Amino acid sequence: MAATTVAVLFGGRSSEHSISSATAGGVLGAIDRDLFRVIPVGVTRDGVFVLEEDDPERFRLDGERLPEVVDNGTRVLWPMPGEGRELRVRRADGAVESLGALDAVLPILHGLHGEDGTMQGFLDILEIPYAGGGVLDSALCMDKHFMKVALEAKGIAVAPWATVQGSRWADDEEGVRADVDALGYPVFVKPARAGSSVGVAKAHDASELAEAMRIALAEDDKVLVERGIEGREIEVAVLEGRSGGATRASLPGEIVLTTREFYDFEGKYLGGDGADVVCPADLTEDETRRIREVGARAFDAVDGRGLARVDVFLTAEGDIVVNELNTMPGFTPISMYPKCWVASGLSYADLITELIELGIARTAGASGR
């Protein structure tokens, strides 16, 4: 049987460009080459689609030098709707050649212009199957405000919050401070539409709020201020069900903080001390069951497709509070999402296969083929 041709799409225009590129290094090194013919397509920071080298080492995560997609002069030419799925490349010298017909795209893009529904809509228009989230769930979960609204509507507990536009902070700082005082300190201040803990800061009291707002507003003009929740930081990996079946949830993992106050960018990706990723988490059978159930419910609440990582707090009283969903979670070999599935019996390579096959099957089902 001929191998399935997959374009692995990575990089992008968001502040999480390097994390997406590092994820590509892990995926290119692990994807089953007996099943898939891979076409690496990089997106530069300026949004240019280029044909990249099929070299996992080139995109290895390195704390000293984060990987990135650079403009090498090539241009990937996407097929137009109704004209098949042939992908072509224009080389730097102007020569155009065929890369063959695409069976699917694996978009491992983080942040804006990749994880927010825009790339998903682009691929829908091109009529190319793709793995991962769809337009709606990607857009909902990219905006933390609307994600919380959707979860609350389904009776799922979330941390109390206030949403603040940059213009309001500039014009009515006193009113914003009153809203934050009502939440109670400490608070976490987050860009509403960013991930990988970029732009996140903790304000222990009112004297630290302005600096936290400055950091968050540098990433987005819409900011979430959330009451800090005391509890264990638990994460569960979720997969769409096969053939219309029930949503699947992995064994939960835990972020164990030792010297860090929260799981920041350095702790997640650069191997910084003070935060350990443990999977499976040391939980009772009942806690494990309830967290997996909440993870699946949260995924269904946002009309989840493909995959998501659901982050929750487990309080001392046994309450489960959802922090957020990430529809394209960190996917490097050391990331929590693949670690949780490995602990649940699904290897990294098989997880990649599952995501691609889910995307192809979803398109085939939608078209009636």
How would DSSP label each residue in 316-344?
A: TTS-EEEEEEESS---STTSHHHHHHHHT
Q: Where are the beta strands (DSSP E) in the chain?
A: 4-11, 36-43, 49-51, 75-77, 86-90, 96-101, 104-107, 161-165, 187-191, 201-203, 222-227, 232-239, 248-249, 253-257, 275-278, 307-314, 320-326
The pTM is what?
0.90
In angstroms, the CA 224 to CA 205 distance is: 16
Portions of the chain given CATH number 3.30.470.20: 140-157+230-367
Portions of the chain given CATH number 3.40.50.20: 4-130
* CATH class (in words) of the domain with range 161-227: alpha beta
* CATH class (in words) of the domain with range 4-130: alpha beta
pLDDT per residue of the chain (369 residues) written in tens, 0 to 9: 579 999 999 999 988 899 899 999 999 999 999 999 999 999 999 999 999 999 998 988 776 778 999 999 999 999 999 899 999 999 999 999 999 999 999 999 998 899 999 999 999 999 999 999 999 999 999 999 999 999 999 999 999 999 999 999 999 999 999 999 999 999 999 999 876 577 899 999 999 999 999 999 998 999 999 999 999 999 999 999 998 899 999 999 999 877 545 554 455 554 555 578 899 999 999 999 999 999 999 999 999 999 999 999 999 999 999 999 999 998 888 889 999 999 999 999 999 999 999 999 988 766 543
* CA contacts within 13 A on the Cβ side of 213: 21
The backbone torsions φ and ψ at residue 144, rounded to the nearest 5 degrees and listed phi first, read -60, -30
140-157+230-367 has which CATH code?
3.30.470.20
Portions of the chain given CATH number 3.30.1490.20: 161-227
Dihedral sign of CA atoms 44, 349, 105, 141 in order: negative
Q: If DSSP codes are grouped into helix, strand and coil, which group holds residue 89?
A: strand
Dihedral sign of CA atoms 179, 184, 189, 191 in order: negative
Q: How far is CA 336 from CA 86, 156, 331, 355, in A?
A: 35, 23, 8, 16
DSSP 365: H
Residue pair 152/316 in contact (Cβ under 8 Å)? The answer is: no
In angstroms, the CA 365 to CA 74 distance is: 34
Provide the residue count of the chain: 369
